[in-house]
Amino acid sequence: MASEAPALELRGITKKFGPVVANDGINFDLRPGEVHALLGENGAGKSTLMSILYGLYSPTEGEIRVNGELVEVESPSRAIELGIGMVHQHFMLVPVMTVTENIVLGEEPTRGALLDVREGARRVKELSDRYGLAVDPEAVIEQVSVGMQQRVEILKTLYRDARILILDEPTAVLTAQETKELFEVLGELKKDGVSIVFISHKLNEVLEISDRVTVLRRGKQIDTVPTEGATEQSLARLMVGRDVLLRVDKAQAKLGEPMLEVADLRVRDDRGLEAVKGVDLTVRGGEVVALAGVDGNGQLELVQAIAGVREPESGRIAVGGHDVSGAGVRGTNEAGLAHIPEDRHLYGLVLDFTLAENLALREYRSPPISNHGLLSPGNMNQRARVLLKEYDVRGGEPDTLASSLSGGNQQKVAVAREVASNPKLLIAHQPTRGLDVGAIEFVHGRLLRERDEGRGILLVSLEFEEVRALADRILVIYEGQIVGEFPPDASEEELGVAMTGGGRAAA
């Protein structure tokens, strides 16, 4: 294998954006039929490197070779010509069109002047069968699952004869089951000699699927190692530059008073359908209760109802013993609830506000931040300075705009604001989504610290590892109902079965 020319070779790639060096002399090669993982924290330079390879940026320095030949990739269409295909994290599909139409878009097979849909569908079917993609060429995109959409994106590149496939954080949007299916597909592609660049910051997946791993940190290539012999611990150290606490040690829970009591709660979603169908749950002080489930099973509506953002259909919610049904966000917050929402950009932060303003979003109406309706910028900044320090937010002063922080630091700001309100109950909805190892470690540590202070924590997460690492009890939600309660050492399989409705059928 070593004698063969690499399918792809990047030599000394440097990319500068003004004074910022995003990539610093990076070497990367990809052997035929290999899965080579590119690992690094957010902002380490992974996406920049792949954007250069895909022709979205031109490198400041360095050269690219495909099958041993020196090439210049000046545009994505040139990249496609060279047999490079990219599956972006956010899919680029037309929702109202069929699978076939999406795949042939831009390269439609024609008969005379007419579109030959049948020929397109035939080729799509053929490719799908060959790699076990199980894609229905006639299905309309908006009606198929996320995992299926991703397979359509992969098909799009194969349809254009890609031999080098770049997958940008492909598992970020997938369920555990879909991830498993994706890995099977990647296995098929490998067998056929397709080379794959697998971008991720999930260590367990990298260990499972890749042959070699290249680790980037702060734009520099730290090392390239064979996956065999690597461990989560060793990769995490390369990635972050220090030892990382992957397993969180937690003390025995010291149960206190019930901080959240939900009884027979029913909530409708935006379409008017019942999304939460009679949920009962209790979170006591000093414990982390994790709500696990596949996305879209009513978690969002349940959390919104508890937080006072969404009016429930019926049922009772009490925070710290006070009935807050119908109290709205303010009433609920005053009763002692804090809420780290699932999407920090959409719900958690005002990105065009400064950090000081974001940190004041909960308390801007009371002294010392404001007096008689007039804000005190001095007090606002003073308080922000203290919080930014305490929560180790890097890269920002009180007057920095939230939008200029990295994702991890933005999340720290959201966490700081909520925890600083000294809540009885803290809801953390996917608190580590899209964060890198270092930031995850911080958020997890903070949540457990708050639990040990006697607060109740309701963790809503799609990640098995997170749930099992933090929870004292795991509740599984499926189709708007709690279908089972598990101890934190429940097996992934047990949970998986319950999350997909198996548990309820058995019960």
Partner 1 sequence: MSATEEPEVRAATPASRLAAYVRGGGVIVPLLTVTLAFLAGGLVMLVTGKDPIATYEAIWKGTGLQWLFPWTTGADRVLAASNLQQTLIITTPLILTGLAVAFAFRAGLFNIGGNGQYIVGSIAAVWVGSSFADMPSFLHIVLAIIAACAAGAFWAGIAGFLKATTGAHEVISTIMLNWIAVWVGVWLFSLGGPLQNNAQKSIPVSEDVVEGAKLPVFWGDPVLQGLHIGLFIALFAVIVFWILLIRSTIGFEVRAVGFNPEAARYSGMNVGKNYILVMAVCGLFAGLAGAMDVLGWQFRIATNDIQIAYFGYIGIAVALLGRNTAVGTLAAALLFGALLSGTSQRNLDPTIFEPSLATNLTWIIQGLVILIVSADVLVLGMIARGRGLFRRRPRAAAPAAEGEP
Site for partner 1 in 430-459 (CB under 8 A): 434, 436, 438-439
- Choose between 36 and 339: whose C-beta lies nearer to partner 1: 339
Q: How far apart are CA 423 and CA 414, in angstroms?
A: 14
The three-state secondary structure class of 20 is strand
DSSP H or E segment with residue 470: helix 464-470
Residue 85 makes contact with partner 1 by CB under 8 A: no
Which contacts of 272-277 are long-range, i.e. CB under 8 A and separated by 24 or more positions? Answer: 274/313, 274/480, 275/300, 275/301, 275/302, 275/480, 276/301, 276/302, 276/305, 276/312, 276/480, 277/479, 277/480, 277/481
Residue 395 makes contact with partner 1 by CB under 8 A: yes
Q: How far apart are CA 277 and CA 289, in angstroms?
A: 19
- Choose between 307 and 425: whose C-beta lies nearer to partner 1: 307
Total interface residues for partner 1 by CB under 8 A:
73
Residue type, 408: G
Question: Least distance from C-beta 413 to partner 1, angstroms?
Answer: 12
List of residues 6+ apart from 117 with CB closer than 8 A: 100, 101
Characterise 485 by phi-psi region: left (phi > 0), alpha (psi -120 to 50), beta (else).
beta
Residue 212 makes contact with partner 1 by CB under 8 A: no
Nearest to 351 by CA among 309, 410, 391, 396: 410
Residue 195 makes contact with partner 1 by CB under 8 A: no
Q: Which of 8, 9, 23, 215 binds partner 1 (CB under 8 A)?
A: 23
List of residues 6+ apart from 240 with CB closer than 8 A: 41, 217, 436, 437, 438
Question: Least distance from C-beta 190 to partner 1, angstroms?
Answer: 25
Residue 205 makes contact with partner 1 by CB under 8 A: no
Site string for partner 1, 275-304 (x = CB under 8 A): ------------------------------
Question: Least distance from C-beta 374 to partner 1, angstroms?
Answer: 6
Q: Which range in 157-165, 200-208, 279-287, 346-354 contacts partner 1 by CB under 8 A?
A: 346-354
Q: How far apart are CA 211 and CA 66, in angstroms?
A: 20
Q: Is 151 in contact with 174 (CB distance < 8 Å)?
A: no
Residues pairing with 427 in the sheet: 339, 458
Question: Least distance from C-beta 356 to partner 1, angstroms?
Answer: 11
Looking at residues 147 to 166 of the shown chain, list those that interact with partner 1 (rule: CB under 8 A). Answer: none
Residue 503 makes contact with partner 1 by CB under 8 A: no
Q: Which of 7, 33, 35, 47 binds partner 1 (CB under 8 A)?
A: 47
- Choose between 17 and 452: whose C-beta lies nearer to partner 1: 17
Q: Is 478 in contact with 308 (CB distance < 8 Å)?
A: no
- Choose between 128 and 221: whose C-beta lies nearer to partner 1: 221
Residue 405 makes contact with partner 1 by CB under 8 A: yes
Nearest to 57 by CA among 77, 74, 38: 74
Q: How far apart are CA 427 and CA 286, in angstroms?
A: 13
Residue type, 77: S
Q: Which of 25, 32, 62, 76 binds partner 1 (CB under 8 A)?
A: 76
Q: Which range in 253-261, 370-378, 463-471, 494-502 contacts partner 1 by CB under 8 A?
A: 370-378
Q: Which of 34, 178, 181, 357 binds partner 1 (CB under 8 A)?
A: 357
Q: Which of 362, 383, 424, 473 binds partner 1 (CB under 8 A)?
A: 362
Residue 375 makes contact with partner 1 by CB under 8 A: yes
Q: Which of 114, 346, 505, 507 binds partner 1 (CB under 8 A)?
A: 346
Residue 361 makes contact with partner 1 by CB under 8 A: yes
